[in-house]
């Protein structure tokens, strides 16, 4: 049921969210999240996103399957880009449809937590002065956020 | 066995992938990391903090104790930073 895509090109977040509800009367809620490339200090030219082809799609599909097993969802779309992405551009989308808003909000949040900590993508900073910045470091806060969804607190 | 490296692990090892014949006493992911780290300074650098490197067997996350027998490819990479 879930739609998972890993792609270089941009996506239309509004169209993806709308597609989950189109033509059906049982969807009462669609929650979508879009993550953007952010430049904190005015020095970033772009992020270069590397990924593990095959495993990236597989991990996103596993995360979607876990969400579908946990809540009565009516549709899930997850899209993650790779390659060079400039500040202000979209990087990732999760959109979830359900009958009621609670499941859709929760599932979208869990999907993002799992994508950040389990899907094999790595960001590197390309600076405006032409230098290659460092690899972005993983944040412990993301691990803690993902751990909230562990089976123990079901 | 096919080994694949990503992000700074790839840069430190100096290649994206390679085929290696593993000695018979390399049984687990942890054994493989220890053996690789002994193969030269580029590998020692890549695996200098063994816990900073994650592993996957055939595109599924794997812990240090996972047996590598039967896997077609083993990947090593830093903690993920997507999203």
A118 φ, ψ to 5°? -120, -30
In three-state secondary structure terms, A45 is strand
User: Which candidate, B38, B39, B49, places its Cα nearest to that of B8?
Assistant: B49
Distance from CA of B3 to the nearest CA of A (A): 13
Res B27: pLDDT = 98
Say which DSSP state B67 is in.
B
CATH superfamily of B2-77: Beta-grasp domain (3.10.20.30)
How much is the pTM?
Answer: 0.94
Pairwise CB contact (< 8 Å): B83 & A55: no
Structural domain boundaries in chain B = 2-77
Q: Along the 154 residues of chain A, how does pLDDT read in single tens digits? A: 799 999 999 999 999 999 999 999 999 999 999 999 999 789 999 999 999 999 999 999 999 999 999 999 999 999 999 999 999 999 999 999 999 999 999 999 999 999 999 999 999 999 999 898 899 998 889 999 999 988 655 4
Residue of B nearest to A92 (CA): B83
Average pLDDT over residues B1-15: 97
pLDDT tens digits for B38-74? 999 999 999 998 789 999 999 999 999 999 999 999 9
Give chain A's domains with CATH numbers: 3-153 (3.90.1170.40)
Average pLDDT over residues B5-11: 97
Residue numbers in B near A90 (CB within 8 A): none
Residue numbers in B near A80 (CB within 8 A): 82-83
Judged by a CB distance cut-off of 8 A, whether residue B52 touches chain A is no
Res A150: pLDDT = 83
Judged by a CB distance cut-off of 8 A, whether residue B77 touches chain A is yes
| CA-based end-to-end distance of chain A | 23
User: Which candidate, A144, A56, A145, A140, places its Cα nearest to that of A106?
Assistant: A145
Residue numbers in A near B77 (CB within 8 A): 52, 120, 122
B-interface mutation test, from A52, A63, A94, most B Cβ less than 10 A away: A52
Pairwise CB contact (< 8 Å): B80 & A120: yes
Q: What is the ipTM of this complex?
A: 0.95
In three-state secondary structure terms, A111 is helix
Interface subset of A 54-83, CB within 8 angstroms of B: 54-56, 58-59, 80
Res A62: pLDDT = 97
In angstroms, the CA A62 to CA A42 distance is 36
The token duo for A145 is: 């956020």
């Amino acid at each position: 049921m879930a739609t998972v895509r890993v792609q270089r090109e941009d996506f239309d977040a509004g169209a993806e969210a709308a597609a989950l509800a189109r033509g059906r009367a049982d969807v009462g809620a669609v929650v979508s999240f879009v993550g953007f490339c952010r430049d904190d200090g005015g020095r970033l030219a772009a992020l270069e996103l590397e990924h593990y082809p095959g495993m990236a799609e597989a991990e996103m599909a596993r995360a979607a399957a876990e969400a579908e097993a946990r809540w009565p969802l009516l549709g899930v779309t997850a899209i993650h880009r790779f390659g060079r992405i400039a500040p202000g551009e979209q990087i990732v989308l999760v959109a979830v449809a359900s009958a009621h808003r609670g499941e859709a909000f929760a599932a979208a949040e869990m999907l993002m937590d799992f994508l950040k900590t389990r899907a094999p993508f790595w960001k590197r900073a390309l600076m405006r002065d032409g230098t290659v910045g460092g690899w972005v470091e993983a944040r412990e806060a993301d691990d803690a956020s993902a751990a909230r969804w562990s089976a123990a607190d079901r | 066995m096919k080994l694949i490296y990503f992000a700074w692990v790839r840069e430190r090892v100096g290649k994206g992938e390679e085929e290696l014949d593993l000695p018979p006493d390399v049984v687990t992911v942890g054994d493989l990391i220890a053996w690789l780290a002994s193969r030269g300074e580029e590998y020692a650098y890549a695996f200098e903090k063994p816990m900073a490197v994650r592993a996957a067997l055939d595109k599924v996350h794997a812990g240090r104790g996972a047996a590598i027998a039967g896997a077609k490819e083993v990947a090593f990479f830093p903690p993920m930073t997507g999203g």
